[in-house]
Structure 1
């Protein structure tokens, strides 16, 4: 059983030991969990309620989440991924994009305010994580504030007959890093342990966020290798 490293963001960058822990997590597994992130617990709960409201919209409304770039818009269940459904937002750091996302879906007022607040909070978090990852590698002061931050909202439509099936095809994330809020009650996420070549279970930890290093991080000579397999209920992922 592989233990997913846990990093306190309040200490990373301030204490050499915590920065070293962060660097080791990136190099060894490419996946770690963060707490001390400053995103209010109430906002995390409200976002999950907003996600459910969005996925409860009629199909016609959901498909108005137009595909701005490949894979950025609504993804309906398909033969390749029959259980997977997702919304996409091109740049959570751009208020105009967030407003357009909500307007196209005609999202309920409370859901709109929640999505806007969550996108802002999560962009701050992902910039913080990216900066501290870079600093742990000796790249002090590298700016990430202006990098686009794609926002995906995922749901896995399991039934009693499909429990145990893969929620989505095995894949790597294409960006620099992904920050994922999981379902607190139901697991199902797995990552590849590069030491053994085996997939290992990642159990949810309420209140924390899971960070996965993507392909861009790997290309940048940082030795990362981790893959997502499945998560069973609505989750939100921000990619930088």
Structure 2
């Protein structure tokens, strides 16, 4: 079927001149809502150390892991539950901050080496996320804006418990990310990530390969761009009976300020689509209405609000 033979773009961040690279990032973000990057500047050795650290931390007793509570809504430890029975994860807000990383590590009794790895990784991946967002903003001719440079990052470090009897089941349900942009370090040994082709509705596998990172656009990117950017729907499926370890960095909009599109994105042919909304408000909508795959945007879509006579 159409779309199945298409390949998610892989972009070499060192090979292409800036202007052309920015254009490719924009095209992939509008068409797919995702792409992969190589030569991204995050050392492979650091990625390997981070995976080992995450694996070790997930071996902590459940009662210790439960100490990782929310800093912002939905940012703490997520245990295995009925909705996601094969998946658990920690959340760390602003892992590049030694204070935040030390607080997290104190609760999990992490070693000094693990603390150092977490901070180094947080700075490297967070910096990459902000640089990619900057390139995306500049691709629209909005050069010079500091839109994303002060936005916070939230990290989610996850473990999937895949077994022979769970092959073919969802490891993580179909969803969109609530933030602006996500940088994902997948597991080179275990795949399973699939994205929805917006054109056909087909699922497209994202194959992980060494030293390659996957980038997803989230709900806030769609709001900020007045619908130009695609908030990609994705899921994780159990393909084989192995433990899967992943690390996600979510670049968030400010939790205390509303996001709305720049004036350049709004005109007679492109009327404003969404009501201004903050990251915190959008998270509360997702939680209140139990929406996962972008449906929460209905509650800030102006046409929907007008049709339903909702203020």
- The interval holding the TM-score normalised by the smaller chain is over 0.9
Q: 1:186 Cα deviation (Å)?
A: 1.2
Query: Which of 224, 230, 246 pairs up with 1:235?
Result: 246
Distance 2:237 2:129 in 1: 20
Query: What does 1:1-240 align with in structure 2 at a 5 Å threshold?
Result: 1-11=5-15, 14-143=17-146, 144-220=148-224, 221=226, 222-230=228-236, 233-240=244-251
Check the 8 A contact 2:96/2:119 in 1, yes or no: no
Check the 8 A contact 2:195/2:233 in 1, yes or no: yes
Which residue does the alignment assign to 2:292? none
Distance 1:231 1:87 in 2: 20
TM norm structure 2? 0.74
Q: 1:9 Cα deviation (Å)?
A: 2.0
RMSD: 1.5
Distance 2:106 2:10 in 1: 37
Q: 1:145 Cα deviation (Å)?
A: 2.5
Using a 3 Å threshold, how does the CA distance of structure 1 residues 163 and 211 change in structure 2: closer, same or farther? same
Distance 2:180 2:96 in 1: 16
Query: Which stretch of the first structure deviates more once superposed, 222-231 or 25-34?
Result: 222-231
Check the 8 A contact 2:95/2:118 in 1, yes or no: no
Check the 8 A contact 2:195/2:204 in 1, yes or no: yes
Q: 1:11 Cα deviation (Å)?
A: 4.8
How many equivalent residue pairs? 239
1:106-163, CA deviations, whole angstroms, 9 ceiling, x for partnerless residues? 1123222211111111111111111111111222122223211001101111111112
Query: What is the SS of the residue equivalent to 1:110?
Result: helix
Check the 8 A contact 2:182/2:218 in 1, yes or no: yes
Distance 1:71 1:223 in 2: 24
Identify unmatched segments of 5+ residues in structure 2. 239-243, 252-311
Q: Which has the higher contact order (CA 8 A, sep 6+)?
A: 1
Distance 1:146 1:19 in 2: 20
1:10-35, CA deviations, whole angstroms, 9 ceiling, x for partnerless residues? 356x4433222111101100100111
Which residue does the alignment assign to 2:286? none
Identify unmatched segments of 5+ residues in structure 1. none
Distance 2:178 2:216 in 1: 11
Runs (4 or more) in structure 1 with deviation over 6 Å come to none
Check the 8 A contact 1:178/1:211 in 2, yes or no: yes
Q: Which has the larger radius of gyration?
A: 2
Which residue does the alignment assign to 2:269? none
Distance 1:140 1:169 in 2: 37
TM norm structure 1? 0.95
Query: What is the SS of the residue equivalent to 2:54?
Result: helix
